[in-house]
Structure 1
Amino acid sequence: MAHGFKRTRKGITAHFEGPEVRLLQKLFSDVGTTLEPEPREDVDPLEALVGWDEEVAEPEDPAVRRLLPAASSDPEQAAEFRRLTDRSLRERKTAALRASSLALESDPVLLTTEQAQDFARSLNDVRMVLAARLGIETAEDAERVGKLTDFGKTESVEDYMAVVYNFVSWLQETLMTALTKTLPSR
Protein backbone atom coordinates (compact mmCIF):
# COMPACT_ATOMS: atom_id res chain seq x y z
CA MET A 1 0.00 0.00 0.00
CA ALA A 2 1.25 3.47 -0.89
CA HIS A 3 2.72 5.70 1.75
CA GLY A 4 2.21 9.30 0.76
CA PHE A 5 4.99 11.78 0.28
CA LYS A 6 6.79 13.22 3.27
CA ARG A 7 9.66 15.61 3.83
CA THR A 8 12.86 14.07 5.20
CA ARG A 9 16.43 15.29 5.63
CA LYS A 10 17.32 13.54 2.36
CA GLY A 11 14.47 15.07 0.36
CA ILE A 12 10.84 14.29 -0.36
CA THR A 13 10.15 10.56 -0.22
CA ALA A 14 7.33 8.11 -0.81
CA HIS A 15 6.94 4.35 -1.06
CA PHE A 16 4.76 2.55 -3.61
CA GLU A 17 3.96 -1.07 -4.23
CA GLY A 18 4.55 -2.53 -7.71
CA PRO A 19 0.93 -2.18 -8.92
CA GLU A 20 0.84 1.46 -7.78
CA VAL A 21 4.09 2.20 -9.63
CA ARG A 22 2.75 0.57 -12.80
CA LEU A 23 -0.54 2.48 -12.49
CA LEU A 24 1.19 5.84 -12.07
CA GLN A 25 3.64 5.14 -14.89
CA LYS A 26 0.75 4.13 -17.16
CA LEU A 27 -1.16 7.29 -16.24
CA PHE A 28 1.89 9.48 -16.92
CA SER A 29 2.45 7.70 -20.23
CA ASP A 30 -1.21 8.02 -21.26
CA VAL A 31 -1.31 11.74 -20.50
CA GLY A 32 1.96 12.18 -22.41
CA THR A 33 0.42 10.40 -25.39
CA THR A 34 -2.69 12.57 -25.08
CA LEU A 35 -0.47 15.67 -25.26
CA GLU A 36 1.19 14.62 -28.53
CA PRO A 37 0.16 17.07 -31.24
CA GLU A 38 -2.11 15.73 -33.91
CA PRO A 39 -0.01 14.87 -36.95
CA ARG A 40 -0.16 17.30 -39.84
CA GLU A 41 0.85 16.40 -43.36
CA ASP A 42 1.33 20.00 -44.50
CA VAL A 43 4.18 20.77 -42.10
CA ASP A 44 7.17 22.48 -43.61
CA PRO A 45 10.34 20.57 -42.59
CA LEU A 46 12.04 23.82 -41.51
CA GLU A 47 9.04 24.75 -39.36
CA ALA A 48 9.17 21.32 -37.73
CA LEU A 49 12.91 21.62 -37.08
CA VAL A 50 12.68 25.10 -35.59
CA GLY A 51 9.48 24.41 -33.68
CA TRP A 52 7.51 27.12 -35.41
CA ASP A 53 3.81 26.56 -35.89
CA GLU A 54 2.01 28.84 -38.29
CA GLU A 55 -1.42 27.87 -37.04
CA VAL A 56 -2.44 25.75 -34.05
CA ALA A 57 -6.08 24.76 -33.66
CA GLU A 58 -7.75 24.57 -30.28
CA PRO A 59 -7.74 20.92 -29.14
CA GLU A 60 -10.94 19.01 -29.81
CA ASP A 61 -10.48 16.62 -26.87
CA PRO A 62 -11.94 18.22 -23.70
CA ALA A 63 -9.14 16.70 -21.61
CA VAL A 64 -6.45 18.32 -23.77
CA ARG A 65 -8.38 21.61 -23.64
CA ARG A 66 -8.06 21.42 -19.83
CA LEU A 67 -4.33 20.83 -20.13
CA LEU A 68 -3.88 23.55 -22.77
CA PRO A 69 -6.67 26.06 -22.14
CA ALA A 70 -7.29 29.20 -24.19
CA ALA A 71 -5.27 32.08 -22.72
CA SER A 72 -7.88 34.70 -23.54
CA SER A 73 -11.59 35.04 -24.20
CA ASP A 74 -10.64 37.04 -27.29
CA PRO A 75 -10.39 34.45 -30.10
CA GLU A 76 -7.59 36.29 -31.95
CA GLN A 77 -5.45 36.72 -28.84
CA ALA A 78 -6.08 33.13 -27.78
CA ALA A 79 -5.08 31.84 -31.23
CA GLU A 80 -1.88 33.92 -31.26
CA PHE A 81 -0.91 32.82 -27.76
CA ARG A 82 -1.60 29.19 -28.64
CA ARG A 83 0.49 29.50 -31.81
CA LEU A 84 3.44 30.87 -29.83
CA THR A 85 3.26 28.55 -26.80
CA ASP A 86 1.49 25.31 -27.69
CA ARG A 87 4.53 23.29 -28.72
CA SER A 88 6.76 24.38 -25.82
CA LEU A 89 3.98 23.83 -23.28
CA ARG A 90 3.34 20.34 -24.60
CA GLU A 91 7.07 19.59 -24.51
CA ARG A 92 7.47 20.83 -20.90
CA LYS A 93 4.48 18.84 -19.71
CA THR A 94 5.67 15.72 -21.52
CA ALA A 95 9.19 16.10 -20.09
CA ALA A 96 7.78 16.42 -16.55
CA LEU A 97 5.62 13.33 -17.08
CA ARG A 98 8.62 11.32 -18.30
CA ALA A 99 10.82 12.50 -15.42
CA SER A 100 8.08 11.64 -12.92
CA SER A 101 7.72 8.18 -14.42
CA LEU A 102 11.47 7.62 -14.16
CA ALA A 103 11.47 8.79 -10.53
CA LEU A 104 9.12 5.91 -9.73
CA GLU A 105 11.88 3.44 -10.66
CA SER A 106 13.56 3.80 -7.26
CA ASP A 107 12.21 2.47 -3.99
CA PRO A 108 11.64 4.52 -2.02
CA VAL A 109 11.02 7.39 -4.39
CA LEU A 110 13.35 10.23 -3.40
CA LEU A 111 12.80 13.65 -4.95
CA THR A 112 14.59 16.97 -4.79
CA THR A 113 12.36 20.02 -4.46
CA GLU A 114 12.59 20.62 -8.23
CA GLN A 115 11.75 16.99 -9.03
CA ALA A 116 8.85 17.15 -6.57
CA GLN A 117 7.49 20.22 -8.37
CA ASP A 118 7.60 18.32 -11.69
CA PHE A 119 5.93 15.34 -10.02
CA ALA A 120 3.20 17.63 -8.65
CA ARG A 121 2.64 19.09 -12.12
CA SER A 122 2.40 15.58 -13.56
CA LEU A 123 -0.11 14.49 -10.93
CA ASN A 124 -2.12 17.64 -11.62
CA ASP A 125 -2.16 16.91 -15.35
CA VAL A 126 -3.35 13.35 -14.66
CA ARG A 127 -6.09 14.71 -12.39
CA MET A 128 -7.23 17.20 -15.04
CA VAL A 129 -7.51 14.48 -17.68
CA LEU A 130 -9.39 12.17 -15.29
CA ALA A 131 -11.66 15.05 -14.23
CA ALA A 132 -12.51 15.74 -17.87
CA ARG A 133 -13.25 12.07 -18.50
CA LEU A 134 -15.38 11.87 -15.32
CA GLY A 135 -17.31 15.05 -16.18
CA ILE A 136 -16.16 16.95 -13.10
CA GLU A 137 -17.28 20.52 -13.73
CA THR A 138 -18.71 21.61 -10.37
CA ALA A 139 -18.16 21.06 -6.66
CA GLU A 140 -21.15 18.70 -6.70
CA ASP A 141 -19.51 16.62 -9.44
CA ALA A 142 -16.30 16.43 -7.40
CA GLU A 143 -18.28 15.41 -4.32
CA ARG A 144 -20.02 12.65 -6.29
CA VAL A 145 -16.68 11.31 -7.50
CA GLY A 146 -15.18 11.66 -4.01
CA LYS A 147 -17.74 9.22 -2.64
CA LEU A 148 -16.60 6.47 -5.00
CA THR A 149 -13.56 5.24 -3.10
CA ASP A 150 -13.93 1.50 -2.61
CA PHE A 151 -11.66 -0.17 -5.17
CA GLY A 152 -13.13 -3.60 -4.42
CA LYS A 153 -16.60 -2.46 -5.42
CA THR A 154 -15.94 -0.85 -8.77
CA GLU A 155 -18.70 -1.89 -11.11
CA SER A 156 -17.96 0.30 -14.09
CA VAL A 157 -15.14 2.10 -15.85
CA GLU A 158 -16.36 5.35 -14.29
CA ASP A 159 -16.14 3.80 -10.79
CA TYR A 160 -12.58 2.64 -11.48
CA MET A 161 -11.57 6.07 -12.87
CA ALA A 162 -13.10 7.70 -9.79
CA VAL A 163 -11.02 5.49 -7.49
CA VAL A 164 -7.90 6.33 -9.50
CA TYR A 165 -8.80 10.04 -9.45
CA ASN A 166 -9.19 9.93 -5.66
CA PHE A 167 -5.87 8.08 -5.26
CA VAL A 168 -4.03 10.61 -7.42
CA SER A 169 -5.72 13.47 -5.55
CA TRP A 170 -4.61 12.04 -2.20
CA LEU A 171 -1.10 11.51 -3.49
CA GLN A 172 -0.92 15.06 -4.80
CA GLU A 173 -2.15 16.38 -1.45
CA THR A 174 0.62 14.54 0.42
CA LEU A 175 3.18 15.85 -2.06
CA MET A 176 1.97 19.43 -1.73
CA THR A 177 2.08 19.14 2.06
CA ALA A 178 5.67 17.89 1.84
CA LEU A 179 6.60 20.68 -0.58
CA THR A 180 5.08 23.26 1.73
CA LYS A 181 7.52 22.14 4.40
CA THR A 182 10.42 23.06 2.09
CA LEU A 183 9.39 26.71 2.02
CA PRO A 184 11.51 29.07 4.07
CA SER A 185 9.92 30.14 7.32
CA ARG A 186 9.21 33.81 7.85
Structure 2
Amino acid sequence: MGAFTRHRSSRLVIANFSGFEADLLRSLASQIVELLRNEAAVPDDSRDPFEAMMDFSGPTSEPEDPVLQRLFPTAYTEDAEAASEFRRFTEGSLRDGKAAAACCIIDTLEEAGLPPELEEDGLMIDVELDEPSAETWMRSFTDIRLALATRLGVEEGDEEVWAALDDEDPRSQAHDIYEWVGWLQETLVEALTR
Protein backbone atom coordinates (compact mmCIF):
# COMPACT_ATOMS: atom_id res chain seq x y z
CA MET A 1 0.00 0.00 0.00
CA GLY A 2 2.67 2.51 -0.97
CA ALA A 3 4.17 3.58 2.39
CA PHE A 4 7.64 5.06 2.07
CA THR A 5 10.48 3.46 4.02
CA ARG A 6 14.24 3.96 4.18
CA HIS A 7 16.20 1.17 2.48
CA ARG A 8 18.36 -0.61 5.07
CA SER A 9 21.64 -0.63 3.18
CA SER A 10 21.38 2.59 1.19
CA ARG A 11 20.18 6.13 1.68
CA LEU A 12 17.32 5.54 -0.77
CA VAL A 13 13.69 6.01 0.16
CA ILE A 14 11.53 3.26 -1.34
CA ALA A 15 7.83 2.55 -1.86
CA ASN A 16 5.80 -0.09 -3.62
CA PHE A 17 2.58 1.05 -5.30
CA SER A 18 -0.16 -0.93 -6.97
CA GLY A 19 -0.70 0.01 -10.59
CA PHE A 20 -3.89 1.80 -9.57
CA GLU A 21 -2.12 3.83 -6.85
CA ALA A 22 0.74 4.76 -9.16
CA ASP A 23 -1.67 5.78 -11.90
CA LEU A 24 -3.67 7.86 -9.41
CA LEU A 25 -0.51 9.66 -8.26
CA ARG A 26 0.51 10.29 -11.85
CA SER A 27 -2.96 11.67 -12.61
CA LEU A 28 -2.91 14.00 -9.60
CA ALA A 29 0.56 15.29 -10.49
CA SER A 30 -0.51 15.75 -14.12
CA GLN A 31 -3.50 17.81 -13.03
CA ILE A 32 -1.23 20.07 -10.98
CA VAL A 33 1.07 20.57 -13.98
CA GLU A 34 -1.90 21.33 -16.24
CA LEU A 35 -3.36 23.82 -13.76
CA LEU A 36 -0.02 25.59 -13.36
CA ARG A 37 0.69 25.78 -17.07
CA ASN A 38 -2.80 26.69 -18.29
CA GLU A 39 -2.81 30.04 -16.52
CA ALA A 40 0.88 30.78 -16.97
CA ALA A 41 2.43 32.24 -20.05
CA VAL A 42 4.24 29.62 -22.09
CA PRO A 43 7.97 30.32 -21.83
CA ASP A 44 9.84 31.25 -24.97
CA ASP A 45 12.65 28.68 -25.19
CA SER A 46 14.32 30.54 -28.04
CA ARG A 47 15.38 33.42 -25.79
CA ASP A 48 18.89 33.90 -24.51
CA PRO A 49 19.20 32.07 -21.14
CA PHE A 50 20.46 35.22 -19.38
CA GLU A 51 17.59 37.26 -20.81
CA ALA A 52 15.10 34.62 -19.67
CA MET A 53 16.62 34.60 -16.18
CA MET A 54 16.32 38.39 -15.93
CA ASP A 55 12.74 38.50 -17.24
CA PHE A 56 10.46 39.73 -14.48
CA SER A 57 7.32 40.15 -16.55
CA GLY A 58 5.28 37.71 -14.48
CA PRO A 59 1.68 38.17 -13.45
CA THR A 60 0.85 41.13 -11.22
CA SER A 61 -2.65 40.19 -10.08
CA GLU A 62 -3.94 37.34 -7.97
CA PRO A 63 -4.98 34.25 -9.98
CA GLU A 64 -8.71 33.71 -10.45
CA ASP A 65 -8.65 29.98 -9.67
CA PRO A 66 -9.06 29.36 -5.89
CA VAL A 67 -6.45 26.57 -6.00
CA LEU A 68 -3.89 28.90 -7.56
CA GLN A 69 -4.79 31.55 -5.00
CA ARG A 70 -3.97 28.98 -2.30
CA LEU A 71 -0.73 27.90 -3.99
CA PHE A 72 0.34 31.52 -4.60
CA PRO A 73 -1.12 33.60 -1.77
CA THR A 74 -0.84 37.36 -1.79
CA ALA A 75 2.35 38.33 0.01
CA TYR A 76 1.35 41.81 1.19
CA THR A 77 -2.36 41.92 1.95
CA GLU A 78 -2.15 45.51 3.23
CA ASP A 79 -0.19 46.90 0.26
CA ALA A 80 -1.61 46.14 -3.21
CA GLU A 81 1.34 47.72 -5.05
CA ALA A 82 3.95 45.74 -3.08
CA ALA A 83 1.90 42.55 -3.52
CA SER A 84 1.70 43.14 -7.27
CA GLU A 85 5.46 43.73 -7.55
CA PHE A 86 6.26 40.70 -5.40
CA ARG A 87 4.00 38.51 -7.53
CA ARG A 88 5.58 39.85 -10.75
CA PHE A 89 9.09 38.93 -9.56
CA THR A 90 8.33 35.56 -7.95
CA GLU A 91 5.26 33.78 -9.29
CA GLY A 92 6.80 32.66 -12.60
CA SER A 93 9.68 30.83 -10.95
CA LEU A 94 7.40 29.44 -8.22
CA ARG A 95 5.08 28.03 -10.89
CA ASP A 96 8.04 26.49 -12.72
CA GLY A 97 9.30 24.90 -9.50
CA LYS A 98 5.91 23.44 -8.60
CA ALA A 99 5.41 22.10 -12.13
CA ALA A 100 8.91 20.58 -12.11
CA ALA A 101 8.20 18.88 -8.77
CA ALA A 102 4.97 17.37 -10.10
CA CYS A 103 6.79 16.27 -13.26
CA CYS A 104 9.36 14.53 -11.04
CA ILE A 105 6.56 12.33 -9.67
CA ILE A 106 5.28 11.58 -13.17
CA ASP A 107 8.74 10.82 -14.58
CA THR A 108 9.75 8.65 -11.63
CA LEU A 109 6.59 6.56 -11.85
CA GLU A 110 6.98 6.11 -15.60
CA GLU A 111 10.67 5.22 -15.24
CA ALA A 112 9.67 2.68 -12.58
CA GLY A 113 7.50 0.92 -15.13
CA LEU A 114 4.07 2.54 -15.04
CA PRO A 115 2.71 1.96 -18.55
CA PRO A 116 0.64 4.64 -20.28
CA GLU A 117 -2.41 2.39 -19.97
CA LEU A 118 -2.77 -0.08 -17.15
CA GLU A 119 -3.67 -3.44 -18.62
CA GLU A 120 -2.13 -5.84 -16.11
CA ASP A 121 -4.04 -6.82 -12.99
CA GLY A 122 -1.81 -6.92 -9.95
CA LEU A 123 0.86 -4.68 -11.49
CA MET A 124 3.19 -3.32 -8.78
CA ILE A 125 5.46 -0.31 -9.21
CA ASP A 126 8.65 -0.05 -7.12
CA VAL A 127 9.88 3.50 -6.59
CA GLU A 128 13.36 4.36 -5.33
CA LEU A 129 14.13 7.98 -4.48
CA ASP A 130 17.36 9.61 -3.43
CA GLU A 131 16.96 12.30 -0.78
CA PRO A 132 16.67 15.29 -3.16
CA SER A 133 14.00 13.47 -5.20
CA ALA A 134 12.16 12.44 -2.04
CA GLU A 135 12.11 16.06 -0.89
CA THR A 136 10.77 17.07 -4.30
CA TRP A 137 7.98 14.49 -4.01
CA MET A 138 7.20 15.80 -0.53
CA ARG A 139 6.82 19.38 -1.83
CA SER A 140 4.57 18.18 -4.63
CA PHE A 141 2.43 16.19 -2.18
CA THR A 142 1.88 19.48 -0.34
CA ASP A 143 0.69 21.13 -3.56
CA ILE A 144 -1.59 18.19 -4.39
CA ARG A 145 -3.11 18.23 -0.90
CA LEU A 146 -3.63 22.00 -1.00
CA ALA A 147 -5.36 21.67 -4.37
CA LEU A 148 -7.63 18.86 -3.17
CA ALA A 149 -8.43 20.63 0.12
CA THR A 150 -9.31 23.84 -1.73
CA ARG A 151 -11.56 22.10 -4.27
CA LEU A 152 -13.28 20.10 -1.51
CA GLY A 153 -13.54 22.96 0.97
CA VAL A 154 -11.69 21.04 3.69
CA GLU A 155 -11.41 23.04 6.90
CA GLU A 156 -9.66 22.43 10.19
CA GLY A 157 -11.82 20.41 12.57
CA ASP A 158 -14.36 19.22 9.98
CA GLU A 159 -13.49 15.51 10.22
CA GLU A 160 -17.03 14.60 11.35
CA VAL A 161 -18.52 16.18 8.22
CA TRP A 162 -16.36 13.98 6.02
CA ALA A 163 -16.94 10.85 8.12
CA ALA A 164 -20.72 11.34 7.82
CA LEU A 165 -20.71 11.29 4.00
CA ASP A 166 -21.91 8.15 2.23
CA ASP A 167 -19.06 6.07 0.78
CA GLU A 168 -20.60 6.45 -2.68
CA ASP A 169 -20.53 10.25 -2.49
CA PRO A 170 -17.83 11.53 -4.90
CA ARG A 171 -16.77 14.09 -2.26
CA SER A 172 -16.11 11.26 0.19
CA GLN A 173 -14.00 9.45 -2.39
CA ALA A 174 -12.04 12.63 -3.20
CA HIS A 175 -11.54 13.23 0.52
CA ASP A 176 -10.20 9.68 0.87
CA ILE A 177 -7.63 10.53 -1.82
CA TYR A 178 -6.74 13.72 0.05
CA GLU A 179 -6.21 11.67 3.23
CA TRP A 180 -4.21 9.02 1.36
CA VAL A 181 -1.81 11.61 -0.11
CA GLY A 182 -1.42 13.03 3.40
CA TRP A 183 -0.57 9.58 4.72
CA LEU A 184 1.97 9.08 1.92
CA GLN A 185 3.53 12.42 2.75
CA GLU A 186 3.70 11.49 6.43
CA THR A 187 5.46 8.18 5.68
CA LEU A 188 7.85 10.02 3.36
CA VAL A 189 8.74 12.52 6.10
CA GLU A 190 9.30 9.65 8.55
CA ALA A 191 11.52 7.80 6.03
CA LEU A 192 13.60 10.93 5.41
CA THR A 193 14.17 11.56 9.11
CA ARG A 194 15.46 8.04 9.84
Flag whether TM exceeds 0.5 (same fold): yes
Residue 14 of structure 1 is matched in structure 2 by 15
1:75 Cα shift?
1.7
SS in 1 for 2:5: strand
Q: State whether structure 2 residue 122 is matched by structure 1 residue 117.
A: no
CA 1:143–1:85: 2 relative to 1, 3 Å: farther
Q: CA deviation at 1:3?
A: 3.0
Indicate conservation of the 8 Å contact 2:2/2:18, yes or no.
Answer: no
What's 2:181 paired with?
Answer: 168
Alpha-carbon spacing, 1:148–1:115, altered in 2? closer, same or farther (3 Å): farther
Structure 1 residues 119-168: Cα deviation after superposition (integer angstroms, max 9, x where no partner): 0011110000000011123x2235544x379xxx6322211111110110
Q: How far apart are the structure 1 equivalents of 2:86 and 2:31?
A: 26
Query: Cα offset for 1:39?
Result: 6.2
Residue identity opposite 1:97 in structure 2 = A
- Verify: 1:179 aligned to 2:192, yes or no: yes
What is the distance in 2 between the residues matched to 1:148 and 1:167?
Answer: 18
More displaced 10-residue stretch of structure 1: 88-97 or 62-71: 62-71
- The 3-state SS of whatever aligns with 1:117 is helix
Alpha-carbon distance in structure 2 between the residues aligned to 1:115 and 1:143: 35
Alpha-carbon distance, 1:54 to partner: 5.8
Opposite residue 116 of structure 1, the aligned amino acid is: A
Q: 1:61 aligns with which of 59, 62, 65?
A: 65
Residue 23 of structure 1 aligns with an amino acid whose one-letter code is L
Q: How far off its partner does 1:60 sit?
A: 1.0
1:157 aligns with 2:175: no
C-alpha separation between the residues in 2 aligned to 1:157 and 1:91? 31
What is the RMSD of the two structures over their aligned residues, measured on CA atoms?
A: 2.6
> Gaps (5+ residues) in structure 2?
113-124
Alpha-carbon distance in 2 for matches of 1:55, 1:169 = 30
Question: Which residues in structure 2 correspond to 1:28-107 (within 5 Å)?
Answer: 28-38=29-39, 50=52, 51-53=55-57, 55-73=59-77, 74-105=79-110, 106=112, 107=125
Going from structure 1 to structure 2, the CA distance change for 1:112 and 1:123 (only over 3 Å counts) comes to same
8 Å contact kept, 1:135–1:141: no
Relative to structure 1, the CA distance from residue 39 to residue 55 in structure 2 (aligned partners, 3 Å threshold; closer, same or farther) is closer
Aligned partner (choices 148, 152, 157) of residue 130 of structure 1: 148
The separation in 1 between residues aligned to 2:29 and 2:82, in whole angstroms, is 31
Code of the residue aligned with 1:5 in structure 2: it is F
SS in 2 for 1:104: helix
Residue in structure 1 matched with residue 28 of structure 2 by the alignment: 27
Question: After TM superposition, where is structure 1 displaced by more than 2 Å over at least 4 residues in a row?
Answer: 37-40, 49-52, 141-145
User: How many residues are matched?
Assistant: 172
